[in-house]
Structure 1
Amino acid sequence: MAKTQLNVRVDETTAEAARRQAGRRGMSVNRYIEELVKQDAGEIGKTFVESAADFMKQYESVFAEEFDTETATTDRGTR
């Protein structure tokens, strides 16, 4: 994958924390920041899946009634 340079300004305390944390993990600051962003971006997907699961749980009885899931499960088991 092609790389793009991104310049950011942070205070010295934040810069030192990034250097320290990257060093603890045995990686460059660049790689450390890249991993943090990827993890943060992944949270969006996780939040979406959790919200969808909550929605399905909340409306489980409606879906069961609409699609008669008990009968469908029984029918599948007999095939």
Structure 2
Amino acid sequence: MPRAQLNSRVVQAVADEAARRRRVTATRTLAERPEPGTVDAGRAFVEAAADFMQRYESVFAEEFGTERVAR
């Protein structure tokens, strides 16, 4: 079996399983999956935000206090 065909079947099997768990169609699951690279971009954004918060933690604490509010 050619590699591309095998990869296609694996992707379809994963989509079918995800669709079953979400109770939607496999077509919808595949259509909603993130574009390649967006996961990495999202991860980089979250890491940069966490770094920013760490660097400016004392400034935020001074401005807003140290009490945290759960939402």
Bigger Cα Rg: 1
Q: TM-score, normalised by structure 2?
A: 0.47
